């Protein structure tokens, strides 16, 4: 069940967290080989099939150690809720290895949902123990599971017994500063049969504020013998490489930076191979947005397509000269076609150093469109 990208830079395999110098060899999670040290972090409302395929196309098939879906409610999945089922869709021809993330608080329902995931052909199933959202926590799932490690372990155990594929978990450093119990929870998770543990180095109370604690990630990696994946604030390929060199974790996850820069996994490969990271030009950016729009349109209604495009563009335009002007003007577009029109003219103008001129023209067009006829 290995993913077998054709790569020049993989000298060795390893099966457990190892010294910082040999993360490059990849690692195994049960019988699934993770050939790349950077994984795509699960992001609800973001990492659907359209997004994952877009990142794979930008970075290169095989450039991502593991792809993970958005989290799915085990209640809705086991009840056959159509939208939840469709969120589990993946493209088995290019999305390997792929994990489906589940959230819930009942061992039996989690186990039943995991069976559905395994039957659909996913290589792994991940249990969410880190989501801070009140709607998830109030129902006993996500980060709430860290407040009841014994229950969390029971859920993992039931799931491990139910499926032949590796069961993994994702957690935070704890509930809040006075309950930073990730070491205890990670130990129990390993005993319960979890075969990989991802740690976002923030507490539930922190949400996404403050700096993530990578010392905590390293402490977990040195405590358990299954691979540990660190997550939190990796913004560039260079920074990711530096983190990989320093951490005891087997790999890292990249979340928000993959929205801002879907080429980031490919750039990391470039750096690892000793090359300068690829820099996408305006045509590549335009083509990426257009392809993403087509993929979204295949699955979503028009209103949702425009919303998702804006979500991508709000981050994709960061760091591009004139990106602020683009966000002020273009992200007000109502239809996705109008938005794509702005994308085509803006990225070309930005590359030519003419973002200001683009903004003047775009404003003129907007006020002409608003004038009564």
Could you tell me the smallest distance in angstroms from the CB atom of residue 68 to ligand FMN? Answer: 8
Name the segment binding ligand FMN (CB under 6 A); options: 7-15, 35-43, 82-90, 298-306: 35-43
Among 26, 65, 227, 255, binds ligand FMN (CB under 6 A): 255
Using CB under 6 A as the binding rule, the residues of this chain from 167 to 226 that contact ligand FMN are 170, 200
How far is it, in rounded angstroms, from Cα 59 to Cα 39?
12
Catalytic residues: 131
Could you tell me the smallest distance in angstroms from the CB atom of residue 131 to ligand FMN? Answer: 6
How far is it, in rounded angstroms, from Cα 226 to Cα 145?
20
Could you tell me the smallest distance in angstroms from the CB atom of residue 201 to ligand FMN? Answer: 9
Furthest CA-CA distance within the chain:
72
How far is it, in rounded angstroms, from Cα 141 to Cα 239?
32
> Does residue 308 belong to the site contacting ligand FMN (CB under 6 A)?
no
Answer yes or no: are the C-beta atoms of 334 and 342 closer than 8 Å.
Answer: no
Could you tell me the smallest distance in angstroms from the CB atom of residue 70 to ligand FMN? Answer: 5
Answer yes or no: are the C-beta atoms of 15 and 150 closer than 8 Å.
Answer: no
* Residue 181: C-alpha distances to residues 44, 106, 172, 210 (Å): 25, 21, 9, 18
How far is it, in rounded angstroms, from Cα 113 to Cα 79?
9
How far is it, in rounded angstroms, from Cα 221 to Cα 202?
16
- Token reading at 184: 């205890």
> Does residue 43 belong to the site contacting ligand FMN (CB under 6 A)?
yes
Among 23, 27, 51, 71, binds ligand FMN (CB under 6 A): 71
- Token reading at 150: 């014994």
How far is it, in rounded angstroms, from Cα 222 to Cα 152?
21
Answer yes or no: are the C-beta atoms of 35 and 96 closer than 8 Å.
Answer: no
| CB of 13 or CB of 256, closer to ligand FMN | 256
> Does residue 100 belong to the site contacting ligand FMN (CB under 6 A)?
no
Residues in contact with ligand FMN, counted by CB under 6 A, come to a total of 23
> Does residue 288 belong to the site contacting ligand FMN (CB under 6 A)?
no
Among 3, 73, 101, 123, binds ligand FMN (CB under 6 A): 101
Could you tell me the smallest distance in angstroms from the CB atom of residue 341 to ligand FMN? Answer: 27
| CB of 200 or CB of 285, closer to ligand FMN | 200
Q: Whose CB is nearest to ligand FMN?
A: 255
Answer yes or no: are the C-beta atoms of 220 and 183 closer than 8 Å.
Answer: yes
> Does residue 41 belong to the site contacting ligand FMN (CB under 6 A)?
yes
DSSP character at residue 15: S
Among 17, 26, 42, 65, binds ligand FMN (CB under 6 A): 42
Could you tell me the smallest distance in angstroms from the CB atom of residue 84 to ligand FMN? Answer: 13
Q: Which residues bind ligand FMN (CB under 6 A)?
A: 41-46, 70-71, 101, 128, 130-131, 170, 200, 231-234, 253-257
């Amino acid at each position: 069940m290995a993913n077998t990208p054709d790569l020049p830079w993989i000298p060795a395999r390893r099966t457990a967290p190892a010294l910082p110098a040999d993360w490059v060899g990849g690692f195994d999670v049960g019988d699934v080989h993770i050939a790349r040290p950077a994984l795509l972090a699960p992001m609800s409302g973001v990492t659907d099939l359209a997004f994952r395929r877009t990142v794979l196309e930008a970075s290169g098939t095989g450039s991502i150690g593991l792809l993970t879906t958005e989290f799915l409610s085990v209640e809705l999945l086991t009840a056959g809720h159509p939208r939840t089922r469709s969120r589990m869709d993946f493209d088995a021809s290019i999305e390997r290895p792929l994990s489906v993330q589940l959230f819930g608080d009942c061992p039996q329902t989690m186990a039943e949902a995991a069976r559905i995931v395994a039957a659909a052909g996913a290589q792994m199933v991940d249990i969410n123990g880190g989501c801070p959202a009140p709607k998830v926590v109030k129902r006993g799932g996500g980060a709430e599971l860290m407040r009841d490690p014994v229950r969390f372990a029971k859920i993992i155990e039931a799931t491990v017994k139910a499926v032949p594929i590796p069961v993994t978990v994702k957690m935070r450093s704890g509930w809040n500063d006075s309950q930073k119990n990730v070491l205890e929870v990670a130990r129990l998770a390993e005993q319960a049969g979890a075969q990989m543990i991802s740690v976002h180095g923030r507490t539930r109370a922190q949400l996404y504020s403050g700096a993530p604690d990578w010392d905590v990630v390293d402490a977990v990696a040195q405590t358990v013998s299954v691979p540990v994946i660190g997550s939190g604030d990796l913004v560039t390929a260079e920074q990711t490489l530096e983190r990989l060199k320093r951490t005891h974790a087997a790999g890292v996850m990249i979340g928000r930076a993959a929205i801002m820069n879907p080429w980031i996994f490919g750039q990391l490969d470039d750096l690892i191979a000793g090359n300068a990271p690829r820099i996408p030009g305006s045509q590549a950016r335009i083509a990426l947005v257009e392809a993403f729009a087509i993929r979204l349109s295949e699955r979503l209604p028009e209103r949702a397509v425009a919303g998702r495009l804006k979500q991508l563009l709000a981050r994709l335009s960061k760091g591009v000269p004139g990106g602020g002007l683009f966000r002020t003007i273009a992200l007000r577009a109502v239809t996705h076609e109008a938005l794509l029109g702005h994308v085509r003219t803006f990225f070309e103008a930005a590359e030519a150093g003419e973002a200001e001129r683009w903004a003047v023209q775009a404003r003129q067009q907007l006020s002409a469109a608003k004038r009564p006829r």
